[in-house]
Structure 1
Amino acid sequence: MEVALQTLQKKSDLLCVQLKDDKHDGRYKLSSEVRADIESLYEAVPQLSKIFQIKDKIGEGTFSSVYLATAQLKSGVQEKFALKHLIPTSHPIRIAAELQCLTVAGGKENVMGVTSCLRKGDHVVIVMPYLEHESFVEILGCISFAEVREYMFHMLKALAHVHHFGIIHRDIKPSNFLYNRQQKKYALVDFGLAQGTADTQVELLKVVNGEGQQWSCPKNKSHVTTGNKTPHSSTAAKDIPQNSSAKPPVKRSWSLAQAKQGKESLLINSHRSVFGERNLNSLNPHGGAILKPVKPSKTVDLTSRKMAVTKHKPVLAKGAASNHSRKPTAQCPATLICDCYMTDRVCNVCLSRRQQVAPRAGTPGFRAPEVLTKCPNQTTAIDMWSAGVIFLSLLSGRYPFFKASDDLIALAQIMTIRGSKETVRAAKTFGKSVLCSKDIPAQDLKTLCERLRGTHSQKGSCVSEINTVSDDLLVTPDACTTPIKAEISFTRCQQAQQYSLEEEAQQDSQSDSDFKGSNMSSDIRGWDRVPDTAYDLLDKLLDLNPATRIQASQALLHPFFQGL
């Protein structure tokens, strides 16, 4: 990391000091909180004040904050820069890997480059060129079809470039692909969650792949209770080939005293440390283990499923007698059938299975099916799925298209578009078992997008068709023969993703007013002449099977981009 920092810091010699009173500059009206953040950054990295004048805070994420700054070059030209301040708890290897991705692949083919890097102790600031850009939400209502075609072409061009170096970006979304409409400039940014393929040319990504699962912040460590401790995890791993990034499962512990507090089954949710991502499903802000009682079904005999905890291993207790000593077993057999299917709980048989570890980094709504189902062998295909979701939003005029609170609901939403049979069939190709209680037909992408955008003759009928799916949808992904069951109310999916007829009418009305305000009709903007090749490319990007999903280099040769 030291070598990478020293190499990059040499470039900062091109910059000189510019101190200027900016009190009367009306362009940057900062809040007290932003001013405090800027002052804190100046104190953390003092050399910043000698080179840059920070104007504003323009972005904030889980692992970094981005600031707009100006500096005067020796030539006398004042230039804008983007300063990315990484959180102090970031692992040094992860920081160095991001810098190496920017230096190896950045600066060309629509990929953001790096100018220099400043460091003081645990604080690291990456200096990058600033690209003024529009918000994806702002352009979605007024973008023309010709612009969509160019936008997707340049995005795939950037992906083909980074994939050529064996870089999996892992967080493709509109906010990470900057677009300047006036200058027709594009930039793929934020390699903070990037990982490498088996043949990656970025050496530090090989280290990230090998050790990433072991890195975590101290505040994310699982809470361990006192007393007799029993290793405990929530899922089982099937005997499938694991890549080098797969590591032994994270251990969870619970005490016998806590297990005896009541006769209810105990669902244990611990704050699991996952490298390179925020645990969005955590219910405990303090990072400790949570013991949450789940009321059992009245028709099920609890004594037939009651689990006894010993000092070494959990064993299954039969009957109500609990005074006799129990012999520990090696582990819960993988073929043992559970009885929580179609219920609102997770039984102790499923809880006793080993936890499965797989990369899950990314933004909800853009994660590929193989990521949602914790497939350990993930490739650059996950970036192509995310690009397909962006393309789906552009063609349908709906953003975000998928929005779910957990992975199972996200998978259920994908099923409403791509079909349940297709999802189950694709999951088997990468060693997963997905169970669905109802057969959900696949939607025609062309009809779906036209109706959502309002260019179809029967506007709004798409929602009625989607809502005909039964309300009791059950989706259960796992890698074992008896997967964990988790009931999903389809109404939750509807609340998260689908639009009511009233909401759609309001949005269409707003879109129509926007179109009139810009003096551009649907005909001029080209949405009445979307070719079938566009939906063919969308279908290939949203291929549920990562092995057959189109690659970026192949997508650039698709007939949809003929002439570009």
Structure 2
Amino acid sequence: MESPVCTETFPIDGCVKSTSKKSKTSRSVESDIESLYKAVPQLAKTFRIIDKIGEGTFSSVYLGEARMRDGSRDMFALKHLIPISHPTRIAAELQCLTVVGGRENVMGVEYCFRKEDHVVIVMPYMEHQAIVDVIGLLSFEEVRLYIYHLLKALRHIHQFGVIHRDIKPNNFLYNRKAKTFALVDFGLAQGTADTQIKLLKDLLGIRKAQRPVFSERNLNSCTSAASTTKQANKTESVRPGDLSNRRFPSARGGPASVRTQKHQRTAQQTFTCSCFQTDRVCNVCLARKQQVAPRAGTPGFRAPEVLTKCPNQGTAIDVWSAGVILLSLLSGRYPFFKASDDMIALAQIMTIRGSRETGRAAKAFGKAVLCSRELPRLDLRELCETLRGRRPLPDDEVPPVTDGKDTGKDGTGKTPAPLPKDQDPTPGEKPWCWHDEQGWDRVPDEAYDLLDRLLDLNPNSRITAALALQHPLFKGL
């Protein structure tokens, strides 16, 4: 296919000097740009790379300008894949962008350049704002629109049997002014059993042939494989303090210990597990081989079935991540969850969704999750309103009612307004409310109902993206 881009060569020496952004471009970025030109020299015939706008574990993203045949200049995002990715993984990402991208809020692909093991994927550039920069400015209506378009993108890719596996705000670009959205980065995508993306099927076969997926470390094991055999010969059980028996602070201030384990008996097993539903790990469990299961994604957005290394993971893990994003947007806290390892992440989920509920859900997908103390399930509305500072104030902190012309001593623009005379205050609440132009004083129950369904601990009963779009919260969209 003929490229609509001119083949005018941009000299490497002038790729950075000619831009007005040089003062903002560090020498290390200039060096990276020059290295990219040398690694993939055909880029210089088409693009003037201006800046480095993103960097991840497996890729770096650059901003490039191209002169089109009609004389106009367009901006593109150039994603340079780190030359350690498996060739099938790279080809699968390209196929996802080609087949699924370009519509329904999913980013498409324009061109692809390759030289040896260096691959650069060229996509349309979309100006966007980071959620961390605008989360305190968003109105409830903007949040409703944001999550609606995210679910539209998820419904679209799930229809093709594609699991994104790394849903987070950084991968769902948002242009607040233009109200445009784009799901990006399919570098960790995986296919379902009936996926329509052929290369994801091939990748699934490669992954099953490997040992630990992406060389991941098994966080369910207390020790390494070498020491596991040694531990199995001991008669004593593992003492508290191991990784699988680590203690974490709970929401109520006391210690909480979380442990996950898979209890499967095979014909080859001679001994019976003796630690089920106890606070220790027996020698039989220590002698088991490492579990092999996908564990992609970003800490804080991983679903319970990912954290517990459930081998059967589906599109529901993307829906959970969307639920975490909605939780952040409703509470005004980003990131909401932040943990150094999977067990701490699971403990944090328990403090919100409840330890007993987490255990029941884990049992549904073949896992046992134990917590040293019971953690109650929290009310999502109360949680979000508390974090947003919207819960009723004590009597001595209630501000005087004003005429609404001033902006308040705190400069927030929020003015307390009395309730209508014929409306009695809810028991336990004060006879006044904050008038909020952003709509946070009028968040409907439907928002928290949808949040509850997105954060269903059981992936088998978790709402799908397609059904979520039919939720009453989105009536009128």
Instruction: Pick the TM interval, shorter chain.
Output: 0.7 to 0.9
Equivalence for 1:16? 7
Equivalence for 2:330? 395
Equivalence for 1:482? none
Deviation, 1:17, is: 2.1
* SS at structure 1 position matched to 2:193: coil
Once the two structures are superposed, what CA deviation does each residue of 1:88-135 show, in whole Å capped at 9, x if it has no partner? 111010001000000111000100000010000000000000001001
Equivalence for 2:318? 383
How has the CA–CA distance of structure 1 residues 534 and 11 changed in structure 2, closer, same or farther, with 3 Å as cutoff? Answer: farther
| Aligned counterparts, 1:132-171, within 5 A | 132-171=127-166
Distance 2:203 2:18 in 1: 46
Equivalence for 1:26? 20
Once the two structures are superposed, what CA deviation does each residue of 1:142-200 show, in whole Å capped at 9, x if it has no partner? 11111001101111011111011110000000000000011111000000000111111
Distance 1:348 1:418 in 2: 32
The answer (yes or no) to whether the contact 1:18–1:72 under 8 Å persists in 2 is: no
Distance 2:473 2:306 in 1: 28
1:558 aligns with 2:474: no
Deviation, 1:385, is: 0.2
How has the CA–CA distance of structure 1 residues 398 and 334 changed in structure 2, closer, same or farther, with 3 Å as cutoff? Answer: farther
The answer (yes or no) to whether the contact 1:384–1:541 under 8 Å persists in 2 is: yes
Equivalence for 2:88? 93
Deviation, 1:14, is: 3.5
Q: Which amino acid counterpart does residue 442 of structure 1 have in structure 2?
A: R
Equivalence for 2:115? 120
How has the CA–CA distance of structure 1 residues 432 and 527 changed in structure 2, closer, same or farther, with 3 Å as cutoff? Answer: same
1:193 pairs with one of 188, 194, 209 = 188
| Aligned counterparts, 1:144-543, within 5 A | 144-214=139-209, 252-253=225-226, 333=270, 335-337=272-274, 342=279, 348-458=283-393, 515-516=412-413, 523-543=436-456
How has the CA–CA distance of structure 1 residues 132 and 378 changed in structure 2, closer, same or farther, with 3 Å as cutoff? Answer: same
Deviation, 1:333, is: 4.4
Equivalence for 2:47? 52
Distance 2:465 2:220 in 1: 36
1:544 aligns with 2:457: yes
Distance 2:460 2:316 in 1: 8
Q: TM-score, normalised by structure 2?
A: 0.79
Distance 1:406 1:221 in 2: 12
Once the two structures are superposed, what CA deviation does each residue of 1:260-313 show, in whole Å capped at 9, x if it has no partner? xx999999xxxxxxxxxxxxx9xxxxxxxxxxxx9xxxxxxxxxxxxxxxxxxx
* SS at structure 2 position matched to 1:525: coil
1:71 aligns with 2:8: no
RMSD: 3.3
Once the two structures are superposed, what CA deviation does each residue of 1:421-452 show, in whole Å capped at 9, x if it has no partner? 11111111111111122111100000000010
The answer (yes or no) to whether the contact 1:234–1:353 under 8 Å persists in 2 is: no
Distance 1:19 1:181 in 2: 33
* SS at structure 2 position matched to 1:178: strand
How has the CA–CA distance of structure 1 residues 416 and 339 changed in structure 2, closer, same or farther, with 3 Å as cutoff? Answer: closer
Distance 1:183 1:386 in 2: 25
The answer (yes or no) to whether the contact 1:166–1:199 under 8 Å persists in 2 is: yes
Q: TM-score, normalised by structure 1?
A: 0.67
Deviation, 1:253, is: 4.2
Distance 1:383 1:47 in 2: 37
Once the two structures are superposed, what CA deviation does each residue of 1:46-81 show, in whole Å capped at 9, x if it has no partner? 101111111111111111111111110111110000
Q: Which amino acid counterpart does residue 383 of structure 1 have in structure 2?
A: D
Distance 1:233 1:84 in 2: 31
How has the CA–CA distance of structure 1 residues 153 and 24 changed in structure 2, closer, same or farther, with 3 Å as cutoff? Answer: same
How has the CA–CA distance of structure 1 residues 156 and 515 changed in structure 2, closer, same or farther, with 3 Å as cutoff? Answer: farther
How has the CA–CA distance of structure 1 residues 150 and 255 changed in structure 2, closer, same or farther, with 3 Å as cutoff? Answer: closer
Distance 1:39 1:163 in 2: 39
The answer (yes or no) to whether the contact 1:392–1:449 under 8 Å persists in 2 is: yes
How has the CA–CA distance of structure 1 residues 263 and 397 changed in structure 2, closer, same or farther, with 3 Å as cutoff? Answer: same
The answer (yes or no) to whether the contact 1:174–1:390 under 8 Å persists in 2 is: yes
* SS at structure 2 position matched to 1:375: coil
Equivalence for 2:425? none
The answer (yes or no) to whether the contact 1:11–1:115 under 8 Å persists in 2 is: no
Distance 1:542 1:62 in 2: 27
The answer (yes or no) to whether the contact 1:388–1:538 under 8 Å persists in 2 is: yes
The answer (yes or no) to whether the contact 1:234–1:354 under 8 Å persists in 2 is: no
Q: Which amino acid counterpart does residue 535 of structure 1 have in structure 2?
A: Y
Distance 1:336 1:513 in 2: 61
How has the CA–CA distance of structure 1 residues 347 and 101 changed in structure 2, closer, same or farther, with 3 Å as cutoff? Answer: same
Gaps of 5+ in 1: 1-9, 223-231, 237-250, 268-280, 282-293, 295-329, 460-511
Distance 2:122 2:210 in 1: 25
The answer (yes or no) to whether the contact 2:211–2:292 under 8 Å persists in 1 is: no
Deviation, 1:25, is: 3.5
